[in-house]
Amino acid sequence: MKLTFLLLIFVSNFIYAQNLTIGTAGMPLRELKARSEQQLSYFNDEFMPSAVVTLDGKHLTLEAIRYDLLKQHVEYLDKNVVYEVQDSISSFTIKDSIGKSHLLEKLQMNGRPYFFEVIASGRTSLLKRHTAKISETEDWYTKKKLQSVIKRSEYYTLKGGKFERFSPSKKNILALLNEDPERLKTFLNNKPLDFKSDYSLKAIFDFYNL
């Protein structure tokens, strides 16, 4: 009886409201502590509604999440408390600062999980990884250390389970997607394409993957 009572106390400490229990196996969400403004860098600074798929296949709509590029955390806001939830998430959608929706999926690269934006999927998928880093400079007059957060994005291809970093250009696209080069050349030459545009790159990879 005593053991049962202690077990009930232990379990009760890990019970959350229904809208918070998105982890697998009842894993509790971890509350995040506040950080300085210099350490903040989000895909979108505002908390936004998101369609989420959990690791155990549940489809949920969360009212307020944001994606920390520096820490690579997905954060969830509930009653003014911020929780880290990326360990429970398989994929999620999030809007950028101009309202465009982006789909990010958790994929294993070199044995570690990362979130990638899916630009195009198929035989050869095109992915985009969003990250950030802290840059430190010194003020020449005061000698104070100044920190800023630099956001960056990198493209990757995924083919046969293998990830490769990819720098978009006409030359690199023709070298990568080389199974039917004449067909692809005709498509590239007949379309007004910008090889630095996600929209154009998606069109190219979708055409190749047909």
Is 186 inside any structural domain?
yes
Distance CA 54, CA 177 (A): 33
Looking at the predicted structure, is the pLDDT value of residue 82 above 50?
yes
Q: Which of 29-43, 57-71, 102-116, 162-176 has the lowest mean pLDDT?
A: 29-43
Is 108 inside any structural domain?
no
Is 89 inside any structural domain?
no
Is 109 inside any structural domain?
no
What does the pLDDT look like over 114-173, one tens digit per residue? 999 999 999 999 999 999 988 888 877 787 887 788 889 999 999 999 999 999 999 999
Handedness of CA 157, 108, 97, 62 (dihedral sign): positive
Burial letters for 30-63: b for 16+ Cβ neighbours within 10 Å, e otherwise?
A: eebeeeeeeebbbbbeebbebebbbbeeeeeebe
Q: Which two tokens stand for residue 210?
A: 């047909």
Is 176 inside any structural domain?
yes
Beta carbons of 156 and 127 less than 8 angstroms apart = yes
Q: Which of 1-5, 29-33, 52-56 has the lowest mean pLDDT?
A: 1-5
C-alpha 122: how far from chain center: 19
pLDDT grade for 103, boundaries at 50, 70 and 90 = very high
Domain count, the chain: 1
Q: For residue 169, count CB atoms less than 10 angstroms from its CB and return exposed for 0-12, middle for 13-18, buried for 19 or more.
A: exposed
Is 88 inside any structural domain?
no
- Domain encompassing residue 177: 167-210
